[in-house]
């Protein structure tokens, strides 16, 4: 679509094809071009595009009751979705947990920040408000979510609008911020939370927020197995709530319903978005653990927060239909084999002189590109390597999600791959072939 469209685009300097249809892992544009969606758009599309059951469920709900404000009514699809999410969550959530349904990941982050603050007020611990987080992270685009995010590029224009609540080191073994190696590092990156709390005092700290696997900003950086437990212990010791941002990793993307389940972690709050609606509806949620719920029940009873469209019946119907589809087709179980075939197809790329590594967990994968493979020197950001590779892969009919800044916030190029869980072996090979052609094209010039 040209920039003459009435829409305010993401980028006035880019042209966008018009998407008219979706079929499984494919998006079809108005000009008939078919694109293999290797990034699930942005780690959203888990069950695939164009599943008719989802549309039918949404239409049925819309013709029954499309909207009833949550200050006056509950609705059945929202209550049902909440119960089903708790059933998938770590065990502690099943005994007294609740779910706050919203319309996307950023709203989930905002809600979690405010839940953490009000939790401490309900407990009489009034000074606690700061939500600490990590550099090189992304938690959403609203101001609260950006305050906790650590993505330099996305924060830069808005710095004057954001307070600094404390960002600690990322957990990124491929490029350790302390220049150490696991396990000799003794998890210095986790201990950075302890250090920061000791330096600043923990008396006003409300929570720590982190992505179990860092998606957009680090390109699928997976922590060592004992990282999460160390973080949880530090939070407990200093009286902070622990919030896992599972907007990208939740609903099966890493091979478990929630990524924290890989490490047996029981956070106080889990935020979800993206895959919960599978792309069919704007939907997000905060799973609220029992001790937070109990504080509200015992205390004021009322959360000083709310969105007009929270727990929207049609969006919740979409969420239920997506979950039905995931369960009926046992799609959580498809993640590991689909990931194995995608990793196998991508393996030859790892010997490319400009590919630093392919990393990730389940169907959340990152490919990092470097100028010098031995020294791991990144490209100059102005070369826009990730964007060029995205463009070249798109010319080959494959959609990827490019990003810059994995080295230090501005340098470092990577692509994120997060295809639907139904990806076939042949589609995995098509992705690898398109990327190999794209690399040849970009690096021959
Ligand atoms: C980890 C994480 N948290 C939060 C968000 C924000 O979600 P949304 O774009 O739906 O507001 C994103 C979006 O990319 C994300 O990756």
Domain 19-51+331-444 has CATH 3.90.1150.10: yes
Residue 31 Cα to ligand 1 middle (Å):
30
Q: Does ligand 1 lie within 6 Å of residue 118's CB atom?
A: no
Q: Does ligand 1 lie within 6 Å of residue 104's CB atom?
A: yes
**Ligand 1 atom 7: residue of nearest CA:** 105
Q: Does ligand 1 lie within 6 Å of residue 245's CB atom?
A: yes
Please give the distance of CA 402 from its chain centroid, rounded to a whole number. 15
Ligand 1 pocket: which of 213, 248, 361 to mutate (most atoms within 8 A of CB): 248
What residue spans define the domains of the chain?
19-51+331-444, 56-328
How far apart, in Å, are the Cα atoms of 20 and each of 1, 128, 155, 181, 423? 12, 48, 33, 48, 21
Burial of 1 (0-12, 13-18, 19+ CB in 10 A): middle
pLDDT in tens, the chain (445 residues): 544 789 999 999 999 999 999 999 999 999 999 999 999 999 999 999 999 999 999 999 999 999 999 999 999 999 999 999 999 999 999 999 999 999 999 999 999 999 999 999 999 999 999 999 999 999 999 999 999 999 888 899 999 999 999 999 999 999 999 999 999 999 999 999 999 999 999 999 999 999 999 999 999 999 999 999 999 999 999 999 999 999 999 999 999 999 999 999 999 999 999 999 999 999 999 999 999 999 999 999 999 999 999 999 999 999 999 999 999 999 999 999 999 999 999 999 999 999 999 999 999 999 999 999 999 999 999 999 999 999 999 999 999 999 999 999 999 999 999 999 999 999 999 999 999 999 999 998 6
How far apart, in Å, are the Cα atoms of 318 and each of 58, 90, 314? 6, 23, 6
Contact 343, 196 (CB under 8 A): no
Residue 307 Cα to ligand 1 middle (Å):
17
Model pLDDT, residue 445: 64
In CATH terms, 56-328 corresponds, of 3.30.450.90, 3.40.50.2300, 1.10.3720.10, 3.40.640.10, to 3.40.640.10
Contact 98, 334 (CB under 8 A): no
Model pLDDT, residue 2: 47
3-state secondary structure of 111: helix
Measure the N-to-C terminal CA separation of the chain; round to a whole number of Å.
Answer: 28
Q: Does ligand 1 lie within 6 Å of residue 105's CB atom?
A: yes
Q: Which atom of ligand 1 is nearest to the CA of 273?
A: 10
* Sign of the alpha-carbon torsion through 231, 367, 105, 90: negative
CA dist 140 and 113 (Å) reads 12
Residue 104 Cα to ligand 1 middle (Å):
8
The residue written with tokens 């995995």 in the block is 428
Q: Does ligand 1 lie within 6 Å of residue 41's CB atom?
A: no
Helix orientation angle between 425-444 and 332-346, rounded to the nearest 10 degrees: 40
Model pLDDT, residue 1: 52
Q: Does ligand 1 lie within 6 Å of residue 140's CB atom?
A: yes
Backbone angles phi, psi at 81, to 5 degrees: -65, -40
Model pLDDT, residue 3: 46
Provide Rg for the chain, Cα atoms. Answer: 21
Q: Does ligand 1 lie within 6 Å of residue 106's CB atom?
A: yes
How far apart, in Å, are the Cα atoms of 313 and each of 49, 52, 117, 147, 234? 21, 18, 28, 30, 39
Model pLDDT, residue 34: 98
- b (16+ CB within 10 A) / e for 189-219: bbbbbbebbeeeebeebbbbbbbbbbbbbbb
Polymer length of the chain: 445
Q: Does ligand 1 lie within 6 Å of residue 109's CB atom?
A: yes
Q: Does ligand 1 lie within 6 Å of residue 282's CB atom?
A: no
CA dist 73 and 126 (Å) reads 31
């Amino acid at each position: 679509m040209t920039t003459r469209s009435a829409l305010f685009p993401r980028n006035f300097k880019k042209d966008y094809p018009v998407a008219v249809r979706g079929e499984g892992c494919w998006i079809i544009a108005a000009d008939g071009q078919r694109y293999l969606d290797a990034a699930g758009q942005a780690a959203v599309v888990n069950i695939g595009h164009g599943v008719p059951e989802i549309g039918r469920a949404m239409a049925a709900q819309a013709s029954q009751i499309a909207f009833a404000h949550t200050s006056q009514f509950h609705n059945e699809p929202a209550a049902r979705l909440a119960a089903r999410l708790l059933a998938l969550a770590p065990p502690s959530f099943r005994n007294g947990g609740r779910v706050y349904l919203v319309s996307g990941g950023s709203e989930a982050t905002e809600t979690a920040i405010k839940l953490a603050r009000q939790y401490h007020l309900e407990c009489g611990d009034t000074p606690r408000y700061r939500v600490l987080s990590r550099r090189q992270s992304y938690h959403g685009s609203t101001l609260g979510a950006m305050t906790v995010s650590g993505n330099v590029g996305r924060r830069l224009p808005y710095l004057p609008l954001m307070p600094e609540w404390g960002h600690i080191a990322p957990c990124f073994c491929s490029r350790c911020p302390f220049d150490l190696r696991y396990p000799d590092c003794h998890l210095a990156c986790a201990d950075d939370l302890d250090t920061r709390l000791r330096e600043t005092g923990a008396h006003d700290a409300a929570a720590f927020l982190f992505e179990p696997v860092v998606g957009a900003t680090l390109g699928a950086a997976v922590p060592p197995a004992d990282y999460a437990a160390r973080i949880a212990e530090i939070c407990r010791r200093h009286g902070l709530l622990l919030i896992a941002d599972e907007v990208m990793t939740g609903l099966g993307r890493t091979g478990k319903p929630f990524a924290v389940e890989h490490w047996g972690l029981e956070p106080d709050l889990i935020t979800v978005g993206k895959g919960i609606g599978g792309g069919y509806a704007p939907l997000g949620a905060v799973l609220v653990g029992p001790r937070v719920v109990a504080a509200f029940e015992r205390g004021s009873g009322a959360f000083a927060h709310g969105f007009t469209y929270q727990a929207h019946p049609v969006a919740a119907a979409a969420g239920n239909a997506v979950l039905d589809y995931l369960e009926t087709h046992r799609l959580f179980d498809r993640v590991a084999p689909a990931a194995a075939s995608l990793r196998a197809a991508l393996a030859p790329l790892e010997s490319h002189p400009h590919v630093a590594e392919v990393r990730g967990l389940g169907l959340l994968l990152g490919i990092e590109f470097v100028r010098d493979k031995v020294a791991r020197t990144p490209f100059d950001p102005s070369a826009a390597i990730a964007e060029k590779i995205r463009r070249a892969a798109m010319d080959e009919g494959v959609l990827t999600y490019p990003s810059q800044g994995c080295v230090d916030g501005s340098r470092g190029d990577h692509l994120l791959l997060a295809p639907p869980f139904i990806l076939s072996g042949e589609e995995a090979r098509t992705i690898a072939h398109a990327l190999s052609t794209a690399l040849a094209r970009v690096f021959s010039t």
